[in-house]
Amino acid sequence: MKKHYVLLLLYAFSYTAIAQTIQGFSPESAQDQLALEAQFDAKLKKENLDDWMQFMAAEPHYVGTEYGKKNAEWMKKQFESWGYDAEIDEYQVLFPYPKLRLLELTEPTTFKAALAPEPIAEDKYTQQGEALLPSYNAFSTDGDVTAELVFVNYGVPKDYEELEKLGIDVKGKIVIAKYYGSWRGIKPKLAAEKGAIGCIIYSDPADDGYVQGDVYPEGAFKPETGVQRGSVMDMPLYPGDVLTPGYGATKNAKRLHRKDAPTITKIPVLPISYADAKPFLEALEGPVAPASWRGGLPVTYHIGPGPAKVHLKLAFDWQLQPAYNVIAKLKGATYPDEWVMRGNHHDAWVHGASDPVSGMVALMEEARAVGELAKAGKKPKRTIVYCAWDAEEPGLIGSTEWVEDHQDLLKEKAVVYINTDGNGRGFLGVGGSHTLETMVKEIAGDIKDPQTGVSLVERRAAAAKVSGRDSSFGLSALGSGSDYTPFIQHTGIPSLNLGFGGESSGGEYHTIFDSYTHYTRFKDPGFEYGVTLAKTAGHITLRMANADILPFELNAWYKTVSEYMDEVIETTNSMRKQAEKQQQLVAEKAYVLAADPKDNLKAPEAESDVPYLDFSPLQNALASVKVSVQEFSKTDFTSLSASKQKMVNAKLKDLEKALLSDSGLPRRPWFKHQIYAPGFYTGYGVKTLPGVREAIEQKNFKEAQEQIEKLAKTFTTFKSKLDELVKMG
Ligand SMILES: [Zn+2]
């Protein structure tokens, strides 16, 4: 007894000696919080992740399947058993199912694409036959087209510049593009803009097949009949249900006619395997593709057009399907009307062991441990809301409809949204609102990497150093590609997205090979990183839930945003230099051509001028934000009285919303955030300061100047919100 007492004293002593301060907590509450997090960690069990994955990924569970519904109902019961108030919120969303898929080569030889994956003997999940969703790209339009084929590499803007130099036009043709290089939806979007009438996308073995490593089942990479499914909806315009832009797809909602839905592709598009792609590529002639375009198939990659001629016929069953979002709430003890939201999707293209179930089961284990703590009297201060989204794969539909349907509620209550979407092995990747960077860094510095025993921050820094990248810890900016999009970009809820990866690559993404068998052999055997994800996301959730003052920090935010501004200015300057250089070359060449009138060459046209944009409104606005940021950072809000803290939190919660503009981005008003957006021509890839940056990149300088002024006003509003906070300190 005595001995124990002494030990306790010693423990308490050393604890205070190394007392840690954490963002948003007073010194005393910081100690309580760290102790709570240690209790939380002790509750996490790998076996649960394993059991639950076997259950959830046993059968295909895409939108509208019985198994998807069963998963939703099962999760609801689980949350309830852990003490949550859970419900299923249902929406009726358009979800096309492939009715007819035909792809054939008609000239100079004939070949019909099999469009059928070969099951793997060692993996029972790949043997479920009819139940496996046929491979297709969701939200391709119906179509029946025949034309010559052109190989367009990844089908991104710079590939079309290359084609133009070679004098190759895709107008009236069908293009074949490789996966990767951009989000897949950009490929048919750009092809259609260039006049193509059909689009085939295939996975080249150089990108995720035998060139990268052994293929499944010997290794993790893509076997020859593997096909990546995926949405090609025009999500940079707006994500979610294509028929109900900006509002919830409830049962009686007014819906667009399908022919008027702008986010369905303009041309038919079909994904295929490399076994199916090879005969089409072999039948192409014309120029040999540039070295950087060639893939890993044993063929000489030609561009065409032709003589390969292709017939592509697609028809879909365009039905409304129910989407089941599971929403589970644990009421906060002090601030029940402030919601900390945490989500992952539950629908998959096929079994989805990795995407999304590996993230979903980590979230559930986290929720179970938080629920147990609450039952033992450690209730969170704020309400915690766990969300399991349906219909993410076809276009972030479940989360978007829910967010659109609950706009007022969310604006009033949500303080943060924390997203995960599948998990692997390796390094922590985190993106999100830069006001949360300091908190995330504190947490990642305290959690150990299961493989090396060093902290998540150190592990990441070591890897960055090896590859010559910046080794400082920072959040990446969020573009799109998962369920955080409606929260941050449409509603201005501060958001995070996290997961582990970098050492678990493979070719299973969106194929029938993303199974429990594949996952436990190649992605995260033993679920070590699954538990580490539950820990990391759990600590973030608990800090947000229990902080005295919401842990937003502005110095990191300011630093990042001013870097974005410098980049945009730098881009404009280098565009101007480039244009001047090109103009001069044209002028010199024109002189040479004039000197030799027999020469029939046509002189290239001179590029137009890049004007001097006036960035001073933006520079001035940011300079004055800096002053307020410094004042804000000096203020200790955690020593205020409880009633004052409550008022500060209420204001802090709305800070990120000051970065929205009601009218949104040019030509896409759904996207309202002025700092982060998915690129109009990159899809998932982020564009920061998107209004200004994209106008410059598209050489729309009049719009760029307007956007500079608009953004400057946004920063001025943001500054006034900060000043109001400082006054309360
Ligand atoms: Zn996913």
Chain center to CA of 218: 30
Residue 599 burial by Cβ neighbours in a 10 Å radius (0-12, 13-18, 19+): exposed
| DSSP codes joined into one string, 58-82 | SS---TT-HHHHHHHHHHHHHHHHT
- If asked whether residues 538 and 560 sit together in one domain, one would say no
Rounded to whole angstroms, the Cα distance separating 111 from 117 reads 17
Range of the domain at 491: 24-93+325-340+350-426+478-506+524-546
| Interval between CA 505 and ligand 1 midpoint (Å) | 15
In a domain, 718, yes or no: yes
In a domain, 436, yes or no: no
The H or E element containing residue 30 is: helix 27-43
| Interval between CA 361 and ligand 1 midpoint (Å) | 13
Rounded to whole angstroms, the Cα distance separating 192 from 262 reads 13
| Interval between CA 474 and ligand 1 midpoint (Å) | 23
Residues with Cβ < 8 Å from 10, sequence gap 6 or more? none
Rounded to whole angstroms, the Cα distance separating 653 from 367 reads 23
Is 392 a catalytic site residue? yes
| Interval between CA 194 and ligand 1 midpoint (Å) | 30
Residue 92 neighbours by CB distance under 10 Å: 21
- Position 6 scores a pLDDT of 42
Rounded to whole angstroms, the Cα distance separating 192 from 186 reads 10
Token pair recorded at residue 279: 């005969």
| Interval between CA 10 and ligand 1 midpoint (Å) | 47
- If asked whether residues 270 and 360 sit together in one domain, one would say no
In a domain, 460, yes or no: no
Token pair recorded at residue 20: 């840690």
| Interval between CA 373 and ligand 1 midpoint (Å) | 29
Token pair recorded at residue 122: 């060692």
- Position 591 scores a pLDDT of 54
Token pair recorded at residue 119: 């099951």
In a domain, 676, yes or no: yes
| DSSP codes joined into one string, 36-60 | HHHHHHHH--HHHHHHHHHHHTSS-
- If asked whether residues 118 and 183 sit together in one domain, one would say yes
- Position 605 scores a pLDDT of 75
Q: What three-state secondary structure class fits 150?
A: strand
User: Which of 61, 518, 673, 697 is labelled catalytic?
Assistant: 673
Rounded to whole angstroms, the Cα distance separating 105 from 171 reads 19
- The Cα diameter of the chain in Å comes to 106
Is 90 a catalytic site residue? no
Residues with Cβ < 8 Å from 685, sequence gap 6 or more? 182, 183, 479, 678, 679
- If asked whether residues 61 and 100 sit together in one domain, one would say no
| Interval between CA 577 and ligand 1 midpoint (Å) | 42
| Interval between CA 7 and ligand 1 midpoint (Å) | 48
In a domain, 431, yes or no: no
Of 346, 376, 371, nearest to 358 by C-alpha is 346
| Interval between CA 345 and ligand 1 midpoint (Å) | 7
Read off the CATH number of the domain in which 570 is found: 1.20.930.40
Q: What three-state secondary structure class fits 85?
A: strand
| Interval between CA 594 and ligand 1 midpoint (Å) | 59
Of 366, 438, 333, nearest to 37 by C-alpha is 366
Residues with Cβ < 8 Å from 204, sequence gap 6 or more? 178, 179, 274, 277, 295, 296, 297
User: Which of 392, 401, 437, 697 is labelled catalytic?
Assistant: 392
| Interval between CA 271 and ligand 1 midpoint (Å) | 18
In a domain, 435, yes or no: no
- If asked whether residues 159 and 257 sit together in one domain, one would say yes
Q: Which residues pair with 309 in a beta bridge?
A: 107, 148
Rounded to whole angstroms, the Cα distance separating 68 from 338 reads 30
Q: Which residues pair with 431 in a beta bridge?
A: 476, 497
- Position 452 scores a pLDDT of 94
In a domain, 465, yes or no: no
Average pLDDT per run of 10 along the chain, which is 729 residues long?
Answer: 42 52 94 97 98 98 98 98 98 98 97 96 94 96 98 96 95 98 94 98 97 97 97 96 98 97 97 98 97 97 97 98 98 97 98 98 98 98 98 98 98 98 96 97 97 95 85 91 96 98 94 97 97 98 98 96 96 92 80 48 72 95 97 94 96 96 96 94 85 95 97 97 95
* SS3 readout for 507-540: CCCCCCCCCHHHHHHHHCHHHHHHHHHHHHHHHH
Angle made by CA atoms 655, 658, 662, in degrees to the nearest 5: 145
Residues with Cβ < 8 Å from 164, sequence gap 6 or more? none
- If asked whether residues 283 and 419 sit together in one domain, one would say no
| Interval between CA 68 and ligand 1 midpoint (Å) | 14
- If asked whether residues 570 and 718 sit together in one domain, one would say yes
Residue 109 neighbours by CB distance under 10 Å: 11
| Interval between CA 242 and ligand 1 midpoint (Å) | 19
- Where do we find the tokens 């449409």? 490
As for how many domains the chain has, the answer is 3
| pTM score of the predicted model | 0.94
The H or E element containing residue 631 is: helix 616-634
Read off the CATH number of the domain in which 412 is found: 3.40.630.10
CA dihedral 621, 622, 627, 630 (to 10 degrees): 150
| Interval between CA 482 and ligand 1 midpoint (Å) | 7
| Interval between CA 347 and ligand 1 midpoint (Å) | 8
| Interval between CA 350 and ligand 1 midpoint (Å) | 11
The H or E element containing residue 324 is: strand 309-330
Rounded to whole angstroms, the Cα distance separating 305 from 107 reads 12
Percentage helix, strand, coil, to 5, in the chain? 45, 20, 40
> Is 61 in contact with 68 (CB distance < 8 Å)?
yes
The H or E element containing residue 463 is: helix 456-466
Is 164 a catalytic site residue? no
- Position 602 scores a pLDDT of 53
- If asked whether residues 141 and 277 sit together in one domain, one would say yes
- If asked whether residues 539 and 560 sit together in one domain, one would say no
Helix ranges, 321-455 (H): 359-375, 397-405, 407-413, 437-446
| DSSP codes joined into one string, 202-262 | E--HHHHSTTTSPBTTTSSB--TT----EE---TTT--S-TTSTTS---TT-----GGG-T
Q: What three-state secondary structure class fits 378?
A: coil
CA dihedral sign, ordered 458, 455, 527, 229? negative
- If asked whether residues 573 and 642 sit together in one domain, one would say yes
- If asked whether residues 214 and 122 sit together in one domain, one would say yes
Q: β-pairing, 382-389 with 335-345?
A: parallel
User: Which of 616, 633, 639, 724 is labelled catalytic?
Assistant: 616
Read off the CATH number of the domain in which 260 is found: 3.50.30.30
- If asked whether residues 573 and 680 sit together in one domain, one would say yes
In a domain, 681, yes or no: yes
| Interval between CA 424 and ligand 1 midpoint (Å) | 12
| DSSP codes joined into one string, 661-704 | -TT-BTTBTT--BSSEEE-TTTTTSEEESHHHHHHHHTT-HHHH
Omega into 690 within 30° of 0, i.e. cis? no
